[in-house]
A and B are shown apart, each in its own frame.
Chain A
C-alpha cells in the first residue's frame, strides 16, 4: 500500500512565523502535491512537483513556497504565516500524470495561525 506521511497532525503558530510542513511518500512516486482544504471550497492546489527540484504553481500559490530536494520528500513553506492561512493542509503523491492516475493522500496537518 502507498503510504504518505505528514510531519504533524496539528500545528499552532503565531502570525509572522516561518512554518515548515513536511511530507514523505514511500512508493517512489514522481509527482507530489500540496493542497489546502477549507469548508465549502473542497481542495485547492497550492503547488506540485513532478521531479526532484522541479515545482509548479497551482491555483493558490501566493504566500507559499515549496522544496523538493529528494524524491520522497516534499516540503511546504509558509514564509510569514498569516491568520488567513489557518487551514487543513493535505499532501498527495501519484506515480503518473495521466488522467487515470490516482493521487494518494496523507492524513493532513491542521494548521492554526494565531
Chain B
C-alpha cells in the first residue's frame, strides 16, 4: 500500500541554520508529493508540492525535489527563522492521501 515515512523529531535549530527533514515514500504508480506545515494552534497549510519525478516544489524559501530513484522528497531550507517553528508533514496522494507522522521543528533565536 501507499505510505510515507519522515524523520522523527523534534528538531531544534538555531536561527539561520540549514534545515533538512527527510521523507521517503512507498507507492505504486506515480503519486504526487506534498509538504504541509502546521503552526501552533492551527490546521495544516500546503507548503509545496510536486506532481512528477524530478519536479522541485518551492515556497517561502523551502524546497523539495521529487526523487523517484530514491523514493524521497526531502524538505530543505537554507536559513531558518524563528517563525518557521511548526510541525511539518510529508504526504503523498496516489488517489489515496497518506501523511507522515509529522516532524516538530523549533528554531531558537
Contacts and interface: CB of A to CB of B under 8 A. Distances in A.
Interface of A: 4, 6, 9, 33, 40-43, 45, 90, 92, 97-108
Contact of A42 (B49, B95, B101): B101
Contacts, number: 52
Given A90-B43, A90-B44, A108-B43, A103 B89 contact: no
Contact of B101 (A6, A40, A90): A40
A105 B43 contact: yes
Interface residues of B, number: 24
B51 A99 contact: yes
Main DSSP-derived SS at the A contact region: loop
B31, B32, B45 — which one has the most chain A CB atoms within 10 A of its CB? B32
B31 A104 contact: no
A107 to B, nearest CB: 4
B102 A99 contact: no
Contacts of A101: 32, 93
Contacts of B36: 105
A109 to B, nearest CB: 10
B5 to A, nearest CB: 10
Contacts of B73: none
Nearest to B89: A42
B43 A42 contact: no
A35 B60 CA distance: 27
Contacts of A33: 97
Nearest to A10: B41
A99 B89 contact: no
A47 to B, nearest CB: 13
